[in-house]
Amino acid sequence: MLDERQAGLLTDVLNSARLIRSYLAGVSRESFFGDAEKQDAVLRRFEIIGEAASRLAPDTQAQFPSLPFRAMRGMRNIIAHDYGEVDLELVWKTATADLPVLIETLQRDFENGSAAET
């Protein structure tokens, strides 16, 4: 069981991942690459995911060994500090291939009470 702050951070990760999924529902790769507004929305949510991941305690991160917290923080840092170096192909791949696993993992843990507040 996690304390309220840690559970809240994981909730932020999950909610942002779900929003990315909703932003990209029915959107093709080509449409995403041509739509600066979609890109901005997705990148902002990836920033939130990375920031929340950076605030998770090591003990919390250890409870989710399959989640790439370091990569989450890394993507956030690139978006926030090296915005000219953002690789939209990687953003697309992460959003379409990796986020479903993250969502499934966190949803399952919240449903099972593992990530629930104490």
From CA 11, how far away is CA 5, in angstroms rounded? 10
Strand, helix or coil for residue 18: helix
Strand partners, 117: 2
Phi first, then psi: what are they for 117, rounded to 5°?
A: -70, 150
Q: Which residues does the annotation mark as catalytic? A: 76, 81
Query: Which DSSP helix (H) or strand (E) runs through 90?
Result: helix 88-93
Strand partners, 72: none
Give the residue carrying structure tokens 């990760």. 13
Q: Which amino acid is at 68?
A: P
